[in-house]
Amino acid sequence: LKGISRIYGDGDTEVRALDNVDLTIKSGEIVALLGPSGSGKTTLLNIIAALDTPTAGEYSFIGNDVELGNVGKMTDFRKKNIGYIFQFFNLVGDLTALENTMLVQDLSGKRDKKYALELLERVGLKGLEDRFPSQMSGGQRQRVAIARALSSRPKMMLGDELTGNLDSETSIQVMKTLIEICRKEGMTVLFVTHDRSLTKYATRVLQLESGKIIRVHIPIRTNEDVIFTVTAPNGNLVSVDQISPN
């Protein structure tokens, strides 16, 4: 992303959700977005997913320009490249776990029942393929959502508060499952969270405020803790933080 801004309204009602953001994400990175409500996290995620069009700026993906503003091309880009996991699962209530998982495959023209079944097993839902969302716990439904997002083999996985409706223990289980699969598949991951403990799964943490990236956290893992060196976007060291990996 280069010079990305997203402005809503004008004059006295103008809101700068994103303000001249530059961001490069390398293939295979696991990046977490932190920040208060209204800081621009979800807006940034939606622009990367080609769900929203920036007011200004440029976006390229694996060397190719993404034509934001062309709805048809944005849709094609998402189908080919992006997996998205939502906070509220967004499962179809009258479809089974397997049918929900295969839904994205059908939309992207990559139907593969064998792979869908494999994903459900990998997220710990073997034997539950024929259950409907109403017959599953919150953690199980989020695991279906993960399998669904992975089912088209996207190059980048995006998550917007994907554990926000789960208890802390289930949140850790879900994140471990997602990161393990994405690492094995070589997928790039970008996720939004308010839960600082989940940043230990990231290779880089970006802190947003008022539509700008104000801090970059780089984790250094030890046997007992995860230590973050905190730098400003210009690379200057700001501080060193520490969190438990448990």
DSSP string, 1-59: -EEEEEEES-GGG-EEEEEEE-----TT-EEEEE--TTSSHHHHHHHHTTSS--SEEE-
- The one-digit pLDDT tens for each residue of the chain (246 residues) are 999 999 999 888 899 999 999 999 999 999 999 999 999 999 999 999 999 999 999 999 999 999 988 999 999 999 899 999 987 888 999 999 999 999 988 887 788 999 999 999 989 899 999 999 999 998 899 899 999 999 989 999 999 988 887 888 888 888 888 899 999 989 999 999 888 888 888 999 999 999 999 988 887 766 556 665 666 565 555 555 554 444
Six token digits for residue 31: 């990046």
pTM of the entire predicted model: 0.85
Query: In this structure, are residues 31 and 203 in contact, taking their beta carbons and an 8 Å threshold?
Result: yes
Indicate the Cα dihedral angle 66, 67, 72, 78, nearest 10°. Answer: 20
Nearest by Cα to 221 from 246, 245, 241, 193: 245
Distance set, CA 102 to CA 92, 113, 162 (Å): 11, 7, 20
Q: Using CA atoms, how far apart are residues 241 and 199, in angstroms rounded to an integer?
A: 12
Tokens 């710990």 correspond to what residue?
Answer: 124
Residues 6+ positions from 227 with CB-CB distance below 8 Å: 219, 220, 221, 240, 241, 242
